[in-house]
Structure formats: C-alpha cells, structure tokens
C-alpha cells in the first residue's frame, strides 16, 4: 500500500507535487472513480487515468474585453494569469464550464463592474438536475456563505443576502432533467444551493446533495449579456446530452 499521489508520480514519472496537484484538481481516476484524497492509501498495483481539461477557447476579444469558454477543471484565476493584462470581471467554479469575461483596461472594467453591481448583467446557465422538472420555478431565497476553508452556502433568512433564480425545464431523461437557469444576482453557489433546496440538486454536485457520481457538477454558463452585448459558449458534450 502507498499514498495515491506517490503511486501516481511513479506511474506518470512526474514529481510528487505535480501528482498531488492533479489529484486535488479532480483530474485523476481509477476506473470510473475519481481519486479525491491525494494521501489515500492504495494498492501498489493501482493504475490511474488522468483526464486533462479541454483547451481554453477564446470566443471574442477586442481592446476592452476578452471572452473565453472556460473548460471544467480549470480555475478562473488560472485563465486570468494566462492572459497578459486581463482582469476577471466575475468567476466560475472550477467544475463549471462556460462564458467567462475578462477586461483589458481599467475604464471598461469600471463600467462592467458597475453593471454587475446594479444587476444589469444577464446570465443564463444550463444544468442537468436530479428529478423531473416539468414546470418553471422561481426561487427567491436569501443565501449566506460560510468561507471557513471550502466555501459553503445555505439558505438563511436572517443572515442571507437576496438571491433570485429562475428555472425553466428543457428536457427529461429518465429521472434527470435538463434545465435552463437565469439569475440576476451572483451569490456564491447560488444556482447549486437554490436547486438543491427545492429538491433538484445539480447532477454530480455531491457537496449539495446529488446522489449521482459524475466527473463534475453538470453546470454550464451558456450566455452572458453585458453593456448591450451578448456572448455565448457552446454546450460541451456532457451538457448537450446526459449520457
């Protein structure tokens, strides 16, 4: 028996640090099971599979703005660091794919941030959720985020900040539903918390109660409208159709 990251380092002929990083980012599998704990003890004969993220696709760029299609398993800040002179205007969770906006200059950044603050930015997502959704839902419940270690949000009518999520059914496959989601606010994990609260956690979102194991939380930021311009990211294969 040996620690997972050490076995992976030996198998791939990489450093222990790099192996641990790959596991921490959720890219390493044994069969169909994701390796979640880098220091977990595993048999010496364990064979790993690494699933690297897709390439970052630039959807649009000009003197003010860079719009990218962020793959799952990449942090928003990694993209910011990779694009010289660009500044994130918002962020997506590591597991979430889709439209990500970065400003190229301070003047545009100020205008964009003010639009976010005034809730004048349109945000549309697509997700696969647990259960059958046949009618539109409107979830208007305040969210409070706890930031000790890994961020966790919950419905809290006393401490929470206003949050409104609208859900529209799109497709049903067995006991899973594909839904379109729009939000005006952008609370941490808002869509995930709201959908879980009404009994439809996002598929693969174990943190908020999904019983289904998946390679990631099946949430995609499909479209953003900012300052009169709209940008859309095509749905990846795992969003276009659930298995």
pLDDT in tens, 63-86: 999 999 999 999 999 999 999 899
Known catalytic residue at 238: no
**Burial tier of 28 (Cβ tally within 10 Å: 0-12, 13-18, 19+):** buried
pTM, to two decimals: 0.85
Domain 2-50 fold is 3.10.290
Strand order in the sheet with 28-30: 33-34, 28-30, 49-50
Catalytic-labelled residue, pool 93, 95, 205, 238:
93
Q: Where in the chain is the domain with CATH 3.10.290.10?
A: 2-50
What stretches in the chain show pLDDT beneath 70? none
Q: Where in the chain is the domain with CATH 3.30.2350.10?
A: 57-240
- Output 63-67 pairs: Cβ under 8 A, ≥24 positions apart: 63/104, 63/105, 64/103, 64/104, 64/105, 64/108, 65/101, 65/102, 65/103, 65/104, 65/108, 65/112, 66/101, 66/102, 66/103, 66/104, 67/99, 67/100, 67/101, 67/102, 67/231
Tokens of 21: 């990083």
Q: What is the rounded distance in angstroms from the CA atom of residue 44 to the CA atom of residue 53?
A: 27
57-240 CATH: 3.30.2350.10
Query: Which pLDDT score is estimated for 148?
Result: 81
Q: Which residue has the tokens 């597991």?
A: 95
CA 125-109-73 angle, 5° bins: 40
Query: Which pLDDT score is estimated for 26?
Result: 84
Query: Which pLDDT score is estimated for 147?
Result: 86
């Amino acid at each position: 028996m040996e620690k997972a990251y050490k076995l992976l380092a030996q198998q791939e002929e990489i450093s222990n640090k790099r192996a641990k990083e790959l596991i921490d980012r959720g890219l390493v599998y044994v069969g169909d099971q994701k390796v979640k704990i880098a220091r977990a003890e595993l048999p010496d004969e364990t064979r790993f599979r690494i699933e690297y993220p897709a390439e970052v696709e630039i959807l649009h760029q000009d003197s003010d703005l860079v719009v990218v299609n962020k793959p799952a398993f990449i942090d928003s800040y990694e993209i910011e660091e990779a694009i010289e002179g660009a500044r994130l205007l918002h962020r997506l969770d590591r597991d979430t794919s889709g439209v990500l906006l970065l400003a190229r200059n301070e003047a545009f950044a100020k205008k964009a941030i003010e639009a976010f603050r005034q809730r004048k930015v349109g945000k549309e997502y697509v997700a696969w959720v647990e259960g059958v959704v046949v009618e539109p839902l409107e979830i208007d419940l305040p969210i409070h985020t706890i930031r000790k270690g890994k961020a966790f949000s919950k419905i809290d009518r006393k401490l929470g900040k206003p949050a409104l999520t609208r859900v529209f059914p799109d497709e049903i496959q067995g006991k899973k539903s594909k839904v379109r989601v729009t939000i005006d606010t952008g609370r941490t994990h808002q869509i995930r918390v709201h959908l879980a609260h009404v009994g439809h956690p996002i598929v693969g979102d174990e943190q908020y109660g999904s019983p289904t194991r998946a390679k990631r939380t099946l949430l995609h930021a499909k479209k953003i409208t900012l300052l009169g311009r709209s940008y859309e990211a095509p749905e990846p294969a795992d969003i276009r159709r659930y298995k």
